[in-house]
Amino acid sequence: MNTIPVIIRRRKIPEGIYLRNTLTPLLNRIYLARNISSYDELDYGLNRLPSPYLMMGIQEATSLLIDKLGNEQKILIVGDFDADGATSTAIMMKGLQTMGAKHVSFLIPDRFKFGYGLTPEIVDVAVQHKPDLIITVDNGITSIDGVAMAREQGIEVLVTDHHLPGDQLPDANVIINPNQPGDEFPSKNIAGVGVAFYLLLALRSRLRDRGWFTEQGLTEPNLAELLDKVALGTVADVVPLDHCNRILVKQGLARINRAQACPGILALIDVANRMPGNLTAADLGFAVAPRLNAAGRIENMSIGIECLLTDEHETAHKIAVHLDNINQERRTIENKMKVKALNDLKKIQIDETKMMPVGLCLYDQNWHQGVIGILAARIKERFHRPVIAFAPAGDAQEGLKGSARSIPGLHIRDVLAAVAAQHPGLINKFGGHAMAAGLSLPNESFETFSLAFNEEVERQLGSMPLEKVFLTDGELTTAELDISTAISLRQAGPWGQLFPEPLFEGDFIVIDKRIVGKYHLKMQLSDGNTHIDAIMFNIREGDDAMARDTVHVVYKLDINEFRGKRSVQMLVEHMQAC
């Protein structure tokens, strides 16, 4: 049977560096292990953000927008159907309106009809709005044909994106993307919503210098009011939390926790059974973002954008309840797809003559294309290998849509680029990041692509073992296993991709254990000096560690809030016999 080895390693800590005496030794150790070499990197003031004018094309982009504002021309924002695209669209709408745009609207492609990006098909729809300018947000860098078609129709195009460009750039009037060749903006990890926010920062600055707000009788907008949406989109897109992104998320979370967020985000928090005050980036990622994303997966992301744009709390709550219902439907669909995928993979596992591919491709004609990204992520987590899940595109002529998720050490978009180069015509189109990508195939190409994908994954991984690695921050002392430590860790974030939440390990005696909610293991553990509550979610049938009285656990230290009382608890990520 195919099994995935689990390796527990402690993070390396650079020697001879101490950040600041005001930090506890524990936080010093944690930050150093995340390559923080200066206390300045923990300064999350807005004044620490890099200048917008470091972005290539920012002057040309703002000049283009100033011309459209001054001539009261029509601006159409074309977004993406995920949370990053939704928040990007919402802040561009709000930002331009507060700066005096009188004719600005948005268009989100229906993923089931038009697919991703500024395609020629969505340009046909856009033309009906008669825009003078199309602004893409969180897309456009690979939309060669769509941009060309818009330009042929006499529509100017401003591309704002953060995805990796291909060999050819679209012939847009202006491109804003920190990942385009020659761009000197220091954060290459900024999300689409961050790029949109930066464009608005530069536009406000130039309008202020021109005396625009005084001339138009406008109050100069406080763009910090958009940071709740910037934080949500950044976390939802799982981009690496470098210093720039941590500032954006920290500042946005601060506004959310002061209940200064837009009515839509506050309503989404409410239907997720959370409360502003002590929310973390994880709450945005696991409670708020899935409900917003569900609209684009199952129906149309325009619903989610309306939730973010409304100023009416009652309206926001009604939309949030609808989004919550859509998310419940998404979870039901996802569970059915996961059961089917796991059953198919189990047949491979129990067949000693077969080996599970290193690069795994899955397809079922009944799968929902809006949910395949989540399915790929779930299977990747279970079997620790790059996974692409495919579903029918809807129209038989459009072939198959695939969503890919990767593991650390393998750049999934580079893999797809290599397959496309080696097998011309095998992939219709593709794009994405290091850890996630999307693609489309002709119907008849699935088997051929699966083999080519596996071969390229094997080549790029080389001798790198397929093992699940937990990088921990060592052990906590008995004195550190308390709620004050948990509070300080929560406040020390934001934690996220490539700036992970602290993970600890240690040997513990199992004092008590029971299954709750069918699949979760509730425990009381002891380090020999103190007792502490612990919970491990999604216990698998037959886990050997469940029967042990002494276990080695890998865990996060968290705060459990129940009936107004707060207590410390462990969130167990992995458990094994000592």
Same domain, 454 and 478: no
- For residue 23, how far is the Cα from the chain centroid? 30
Give the domain CATH number at 111.
3.90.1640.30
Tokens of 312: 């009416």
Quick one: average pLDDT of 179-201? Answer: 97
The residue with tokens 């944690």 is 30
Q: Give the tens place of pLDDT for each residue, 458-506.
A: 999 998 888 899 999 999 999 999 999 999 999 999 999 999 999 999 9
Same domain, 76 and 172: yes
Other CB atoms within a 10 A radius of the CB of residue 421 amount to 11
- In the predicted structure, residue 251 carries a pLDDT above the cut 60: yes
Q: Is residue 37 part of a domain?
A: no
- In the predicted structure, residue 419 carries a pLDDT above the cut 90: yes
The pLDDT > 70 percentage for the chain reads 96
Quick one: average pLDDT of 202-210? Answer: 98
In what helix (H) or strand (E) does residue 464 lie, and over which residues does it extend? none
Same domain, 247 and 110: yes
Distance in angstroms (rounded) separating the CA atoms of residues 241 and 425: 36
- Longest alpha-carbon distance in the chain: 77
pLDDT of residue 548: 76
Same domain, 105 and 162: yes
Residues 223-233 as b or e (16 or more Cβ within 10 Å = b): bebbbbbbbbb
Same domain, 456 and 488: no
Same domain, 422 and 533: no
Q: Is residue 74 part of a domain?
A: yes
Last-in-domain residue among 424, 441, 466: 466
Q: Give the tens place of pLDDT for each residue, 258-293.
A: 999 999 999 999 999 999 999 999 999 999 999 999
Total number of domains in the chain: 3
- In the predicted structure, residue 145 carries a pLDDT above the cut 90: yes
Distance in angstroms (rounded) separating the CA atoms of residues 321 and 4: 40
Give the domain CATH number at 411.
3.10.310.30
- For residue 245, how far is the Cα from the chain centroid? 12
Distance in angstroms (rounded) separating the CA atoms of residues 423 and 411: 19
Last-in-domain residue among 324, 342, 365: 324
Burial level of 214, CB count in 10 A (0-12/13-18/19+)? exposed
- The angle formed by the CA atoms of residues 365, 371 and 377, to the nearest 5 degrees, is 110
Same domain, 492 and 379: no
Q: Is residue 460 part of a domain?
A: yes
Last-in-domain residue among 284, 306, 324: 324
Same domain, 452 and 480: no
Residues in CB range of 266: below 8 A, 6 or more apart: 256, 259, 276, 313, 316
Same domain, 296 and 403: no
Domain extent, residue 147, equals: 52-324
Q: Is residue 563 part of a domain?
A: yes
Same domain, 105 and 168: yes
pLDDT of residue 396: 55
Q: How many helices (H) and strands (E) does the chain have?
A: 18, 17
Distance in angstroms (rounded) separating the CA atoms of residues 274 and 265: 11
In what helix (H) or strand (E) does residue 155 lie, and over which residues does it extend? none
Give the domain CATH number at 564.
2.40.50.460
β pairing state of 104-107 and 75-78 = parallel
- In the predicted structure, residue 395 carries a pLDDT above the cut 70: no
pLDDT of residue 301: 94
Quick one: average pLDDT of 72-85? Answer: 96
Question: Minimal CA–CA distance to 506: which of 574, 554, 564?
Answer: 554
Same domain, 382 and 413: yes
- In the predicted structure, residue 543 carries a pLDDT above the cut 70: no
Point out the least confidently predicted range of 288-297, 350-359, 430-439. Answer: 350-359
β pairing state of 550-562 and 565-577 = antiparallel
Q: Any bridge partners for residue 390, and if so which? A: 363, 402
Q: Give the tens place of pLDDT for each residue, 22-78.
A: 889 999 999 999 999 898 999 999 999 999 999 999 999 999 999 999 999 999 999
Distance in angstroms (rounded) separating the CA atoms of residues 452 and 435: 19
Point out the least confidently predicted range of 167-181, 231-245, 427-441. Answer: 427-441
Q: Per-residue confidence at 1, pLDDT binned at 50, 70, 90?
A: very low
Q: Is residue 158 part of a domain?
A: yes
Same domain, 179 and 70: yes
Tokens of 392: 């029918």
Q: Is residue 19 part of a domain?
A: no
